[in-house]
Amino acid sequence: MSQATASSTEAAARMARRRRSIAMVFGCTILGAVGQILIKLGANTLTHTTSPVAMLTTPSLFIGYVFYGLMTVLFVFALRHEELSILYPIISLTYVWVAGLSTVFFGESLGWLRTLGIVAIVLGVAVLGKDGRK
């Protein structure tokens, strides 16, 4: 195999790893958002004198914690093949999903300031992602 072919093959493999890392982090945003919704649902069932045991035995809280744990593990794998400065801003999309899911599950409203904030997050992630392309 020629050096040019080997270099081209390595570049393609690097790009594939990068895409996989970005997809994993995008998955992290969904896991994190679902985890936060589940934690909020569980928190709504707790009393003022809730013990740590009750927090761990409330199903929605426990599953929310599991989703957070999965998010962390997936993020570690993603970091192996991409720069933190590229991947971490994508995590902010979690706030976008949480805002949308909160309107569905909790009847929260999205006023114009929250909507503007969501637009700023999405645009910021897009700009940072574009800048990170090599």
The answer to whether the beta carbons of residues 32 and 71 sit under 8 Å apart is yes
Q: What is the pLDDT of residues 3-62, one digit of tens each?
A: 667 678 888 888 888 889 999 999 999 999 999 999 999 999 887 777 888 888 889 999
Q: Which residue has the tokens 């309107």?
A: 103
Q: How far apart are the first and last CA of the chain?
A: 25
Number of domains in the chain: 1
CA distance 75 to 26: 9
Q: Does residue 84 surpass a pLDDT of 90?
A: no
Cα torsion angle, 34, 40, 44, 45, sign: positive
- With contact defined as beta carbons under 8 Å apart, do 36 and 94 qualify? yes
Its pTM surpasses 0.85:
no
Grade residue 104 by pLDDT with cuts at 50, 70 and 90. Answer: very high
What residues make up the domain containing 80? Answer: 3-131
